Amino acid sequence: MLTTKQRAYLKGLAMNIDPIYQIGKSSLTPEITKGIDEALEARELVKIAVLNNCLDDPKQLGGMVAERTRSELVQVIGKKIVLYRESKEKKRIVLPR
């Protein structure tokens, strides 16, 4: 579980990254979930864009993706979801205590 300080730190890092996945009208497919899971292992911090043609609520989608990828939902702003999961092999981000 992330502390408030760690969440704030990750939000700051997330401001400088672009979304690498887009969730559209087909919503959350197993392929997208698998791709996000692999991206989390490689990058630790991932931003996802929810397109206008997606009818699902971004907050609910964020929760579902976090659950399926065993990651932490850092934030949902508008139609952007930010997720974090510590990498098993390529630890890059050092969280504040």
The predicted-structure confidence for 11-43, as pLDDT tens digits, reads as follows: 999 999 999 999 999 988 999 999 999 999 999
pLDDT class of 1 with cuts at 50, 70, 90: confident
Task: Give the structural domain span for 10.
Answer: 4-84
- 96 is a domain residue: no
* Statement: residue 3 has pLDDT above 80: yes
Q: What's residue 91's pLDDT?
A: 84
Residue 24 lies in a domain: yes
What is the dihedral sign for C-alpha 52, 53, 59, 63? negative
CATH number of the domain where residue 47 is located: 3.30.110.60
Mean pLDDT of the residues in the chain:
93
Domain count, the chain: 1
- Residues in the chain, how many? 97
Q: What is the pLDDT of residue 61?
A: 94
Secondary structure class of 76 (helix, strand, coil) = strand
Residue 93 is predicted with a pLDDT of 87
In a domain, 56, yes or no: yes
pTM of the model: 0.92
Task: Give how far the C-alpha of residue 3 lies from the chain's centroid of Cα atoms, to the nearest Å.
Answer: 17
List all residues 6 or more positions away from 49 whose beta carbon is below 8 Å from its beta carbon.
19, 21, 22, 23, 79, 80, 81
Residue 90: is its pLDDT beyond 80?
A: no
Whether 95 is in a domain gets the answer no
Position 72 in a domain? yes
91 found inside a domain: no
Does residue 89 sit within a domain?
A: no
In a domain, 92, yes or no: no
DSSP state of 89: S
